[in-house]
Amino acid sequence: MITATTASTRDAQVFDLIAKEQHRQESGIELIASENFVSPAVMEAAGSVLTNKYAEGLPGKRYYGGCEVVDQIEQLAIDRVKELFGATWANVQPHSGANANTAVFLACLQPGDTILGFDLSHGGHLTHGSPVNISGKYFRPTFYGVERETGVINYDKVEETAMRERPKLMICGASAYSRDWDYARLRAIADQIGALLLADISHPSGLIAKKLLNDPFDHCHIVTTTTHKTLRGPRGGLIMMRNDFENPFGIKTPKGELRLMSSLLDSGVFPGTQGGPLEHIIAAKAVAFGEALSDEYAEYTQQVKANAQAMARAFVDRGYSIISGGTDNHLMLIDLRTKGGNATNLTGKLAENTLIKADITINKNMVPFDDKSPMVTSGMRVGTAAMTTRGMKESDMEQIVVYIDEVLMNHDNDSRLSSIKEEINEWMKAFPLYQG
């Protein structure tokens, strides 16, 4: 028999490391824009006996017996997320955001088809056509970007590129773009060339669910997202549509009817790109979607946005320059090249490596038209989702920026860095993460 105690005493090595990681998360300032902290209920579901169950297929249509309970769990996740986003169809099985996108590509594209995405070096994502990702290897990737002067997307130029390249699929959404998207304009462009429009809202999906940003669902044929960023669920992915439609590729059912897009997307996930779904993670998604339907979560997302604006103002006040000049969402990209003083030679790499010495976690990031390599970069990306979960408000964001500035201005002063780290560790005790 396997008991909880034998399992953990048997593997002190792993559980000691987990305890260390928990300590790291609790004692530092977490500013990685793609990270968040889930509730104990989400973790409990993710760590449940559901990990033992095989359930290939969909609720009510499984290839395995014994799925009566997991069917109800997965259906609950689907129903809740449809309510959350005003969608009429959802597949909650993608293991990650990357998997969700790959499943969409498999459903909509043939090898060699042209796709049009947001340039990775301007804030886009690897899965939108990078040459090292399947999206760039199996398809013909083309890109649009931001303007050098404004840091903002010029939709006239997107249109020009789309008319020239004639993509079959256009992708909007990003990992490091702090401005909202004009989905209506993008759809008008897609319609001119008969392209499908995919919105990958992995980063701002929580803010979109709570109507703090433009709604992509009426304009974009398909929407994908991760579940672990602003949405504050377990690590995972998700595909949704507000309006299902007959596939435009002429793919028929055995009865000779055009298959619905939802049916192609379901097949794109399983058996197209995945095997058995992670029902423990799907249960955790259901819990997180339930939480996201609450008023408390609505307040949380408002605070995330208010905190991002306070943080952006604080950076600007200290002489840092933010790409596009500010933020509409939970994140911002800072160009470190323009900060004077002791930091004239600051790079993303130096910032990341120095800030971590004070227990501040950020990630280095390419800025648009960067003159440095992806391993060095001129920028850093920061977001407010995680620290807002810990209960921080606008004034705390200002304090964080004071710390960041002090660390960067003293990047060659190890004793100063370690005293800042101690101050931060002490300060973080006021924002307990997992009590008890």
| Cβ proximity to ligand PLP, 98 vs 358, nearer residue | 98
**Measured from the CB of residue 203, what is the shortest distance to ligand PLP in angstroms?**
5
**Measured from the CB of residue 283, what is the shortest distance to ligand PLP in angstroms?**
18
Name the residue type at position 395.
S
CB distance 49 to 70 below 8 Å = no
CA distance 64 to 123: 42
CA distance 24 to 21: 5
Strand 331-335 relative to strand 379-383: parallel, antiparallel, unpaired?
Answer: antiparallel
Candidates 21, 20, 31; CA nearest to 424 is: 31
Selecting among 200, 279, 291, 359, the annotated active-site residue is 200
145: phi > 0 → left, psi -120 to 50 → alpha, else beta; which?
beta
Length of the chain: 436
Selecting among 26, 54, 390, 423, the annotated active-site residue is 54
| Cβ proximity to ligand PLP, 307 vs 365, nearer residue | 365
| Cβ proximity to ligand PLP, 59 vs 97, nearer residue | 97
Handedness of CA 400, 402, 403, 404 (dihedral sign): positive
CB distance 305 to 211 below 8 Å = no
Which residue minimizes CB distance to ligand PLP?
97
Is 229 an annotated catalytic residue?
Answer: yes
Is 56 an annotated catalytic residue?
Answer: yes
Q: What are phi and psi of 318, to 5 degrees?
A: -95, 15
Q: DSSP letters along 369-394, please?
A: T-SS-TTT-SEEEEESHHHHHTT--H
**Measured from the CB of residue 150, what is the shortest distance to ligand PLP in angstroms?**
21
| Cβ proximity to ligand PLP, 59 vs 136, nearer residue | 136
The answer for residues whose C-beta is within 8 angstroms of residue 112's C-beta and 6 or more apart is 138, 139, 140
H helices present in 181-317, as ranges: 183-193, 205-209, 261-267, 279-292, 295-317
The answer for residues whose C-beta is within 8 angstroms of residue 318's C-beta and 6 or more apart is 401, 405
Selecting among 102, 142, 161, 226, the annotated active-site residue is 226
- Interacting residues toward ligand PLP by CB under 6 A: 34, 96-98, 125, 127, 173-175, 200, 202-203, 226, 237
Q: What are phi and psi of 261, to 5 degrees?
A: -55, -40
| Cβ proximity to ligand PLP, 265 vs 346, nearer residue | 265
Is 226 an annotated catalytic residue?
Answer: yes
| Cβ proximity to ligand PLP, 235 vs 318, nearer residue | 235
Strand 331-335 relative to strand 321-322: parallel, antiparallel, unpaired?
Answer: antiparallel
What is the residue whose two structure tokens read 């939108």? 128
CB distance 259 to 252 below 8 Å = yes
Strand order across the beta sheet in which 196-200 lies: 89-91, 237-241, 222-226, 196-200, 169-172, 114-118, 140-144
Is 150 an annotated catalytic residue?
Answer: no
Structure tokens at 339: 């900060």
**Measured from the CB of residue 98, what is the shortest distance to ligand PLP in angstroms?**
3
Residues with a known catalytic role: 54, 56, 200, 226, 229, 235
